[in-house]
Structure 1
Amino acid sequence: MCTVGGPMGDIKLKKLKTKRYRCLDCGNEFKGLGKRVICPSCQSDNVESLE
């Protein structure tokens, strides 16, 4: 099975526990999830948790 762009299962995105992060390179604040969080603005992995 091949998928492009979306999750493979029926995931309730609002129930996932996201954290707030700030990018130390561009200053963008965003919500993220996972072990290796990447800034959606500049694609940097130099981020800090705000929680």
Structure 2
Amino acid sequence: MCTVGGPMADIKMKKLKTKRYKCLDCGNDFKGLGKRVICPSCQSDNVECLD
């Protein structure tokens, strides 16, 4: 985990409410959260929520 000058946050990743997404450009399936989800493989925001 990297930080940029602030205190390090101890976040329990399993407790976050992630959703499953599929990238419509490269076909990658992944979990994400937030309002503007991007594909970790190709950086596209052309994604579809599967949940």
Q: What range describes the TM-score normalised by the shorter chain of this pair?
A: 0.7 to 0.9
Q: Structure 1, unaligned stretches of length 5 or more?
A: none
Instruction: Determine whether 1:2 maps to 2:5.
Output: yes
Over 6 Å off, 4+ runs: none
Instruction: State the percentage of identical aligned residues.
Output: 81
**TM superposition score normalised by structure 1:** 0.83
Quote the Cα distance in structure 2 between the aligned partners of 1:44 and 1:2: 28
Q: CA RMSD in A?
A: 1.9
Alignment length, in residue pairs?
A: 48
**TM-score, normalisation: structure 2:** 0.83
